[in-house]
Amino acid sequence: MGIIKSIFYFILAGVFEIGGGYLVWIWLREGKSIMFAAMGAIALILYGIIPTLQPPNANFGRVYATYGGIFIILSVLWGWKIDNITPDKFDLIGGTIAVIGAAIIMYAPRG
């Protein structure tokens, strides 16, 4: 599997996890309809399935460790675009470090 396809699955999983969590968040915190919670639950189930599409040689721990780094930067971007919270330099520095770490964990050549 190519790196591009793998990255796509990480981003897709992130969108489903953050989106699902966000729908549950606004249901509980903002008094939205129970339908928001139901849609959030479905998104979170899909989030649990998508990482299994990673390469067969990638183990669970490595995939989820890598996803953690991707999740950090996606969360910052979600806050920026959805909640209008502009990331500060510490958000950007931390996100960059997390993505570099995630790339090393997942894509470093192993012998």
Rounded Cα gap, residues 15 and 22, in angstroms: 10
Rounded Cα gap, residues 40 and 24, in angstroms: 6
Model pLDDT, residue 57: 85
Tell me phi and psi for residue 44, to 5 degrees: -70, -35
Model pLDDT, residue 1: 61
Supply the DSSP symbol for 57: T
Model pLDDT, residue 110: 86
Rounded Cα gap, residues 65 and 67, in angstroms: 5
Q: Are 95 and 72 in contact (CB under 8 A)?
A: yes
- Six token digits for residue 49: 């399935």
- With residue 22 as reference, give the H or E element that holds it: helix 3-30
> Mind listing the pLDDT tens digit for each residue in 42-88?
999 999 999 999 998 889 999 999 999 999 999 999 999 999 999 99
